[in-house]
């Protein structure tokens, strides 16, 4: 889990931030989606993935992201369009405190597959080997 600040390019016409798969990201991008219009006091995410890695960028506005690797929880404030947060597979993520204008862009390493999702925290801990089947 790490946050990266990307170089801002541009001139008098405007700014540009380039992010390239397998160069700026540790994976090839297979899916792109974005979250916006999140109502106050609503959180998103609250799950993990078996295989999928993600890269999150607040391209407008801001939000907070808490990542949990089963041992440590770290909260990040995404508030610059040139800053991205890497979320590895088997890391629980929750996004919240969205500003009304927030657009959270997510680049993903895998195509959508419901079977890749872990929706229950106890199942996440089990996948990490922290809980037995008992």
In this structure, is the dihedral angle defined by the CA atoms of residues 98, 20, 108 and 87, taken in order, positive or negative? negative
Point out which residues pair with 92 in neighbouring strands.
68
pLDDT digits (tens, 9 = 90+) for 90-100: 999 999 999 99
Q: Which SS3 state, helix, strand or coil, does residue 73 take?
A: strand
> Annotated catalytic residue: which of 6, 12, 47, 77?
47
Domains and CATH numbers, the chain: 2-6+21-119 (2.60.120.10)
- Pairing between β-strand 9-11 and β-strand 14-16 as defined by DSSP bridges: antiparallel
Structure tokens at 75: 């909260």
The conformation of residue 42, written as its DSSP 8-state character, comes to: -
Active site includes 47? yes
Please give the model's pTM, rounded to 2 decimal places: 0.92
The C-alpha atoms of residue 57 and residue 62 are separated, in whole angstroms, by 9
Q: State the pLDDT at residue 40.
A: 82
Segments in the chain below pLDDT 70? 1, 131-134
Q: Which two tokens stand for residue 19?
A: 């992010």
Q: What is the pLDDT of residue 21?
A: 86
């Amino acid at each position: 889990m790490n946050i990266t600040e990307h170089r801002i390019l541009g001139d008098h016409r405007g700014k540009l931030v380039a992010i390239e798969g397998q160069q700026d990201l540790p994976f090839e991008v297979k899916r792109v989606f974005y979250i916006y219009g999140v109502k106050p006091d609503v959180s998103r995410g609250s799950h993990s993935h078996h295989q999928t890695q993600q890269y999150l960028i607040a391209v407008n506005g801001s939000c907070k992201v808490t990542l949990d690797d089963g041992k440590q929880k770290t909260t990040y404030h995404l508030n610059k369009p040139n800053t991205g947060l890497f979320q590895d597979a088997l890391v629980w993520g929750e996004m919240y405190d969205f500003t009304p204008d927030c657009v959270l862009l997510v680049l993903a390493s895998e195509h959508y597959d419901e079977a890749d999702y872990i929706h229950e925290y106890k199942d996440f801990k089990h996948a990490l080997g922290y809980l037995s089947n008992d």
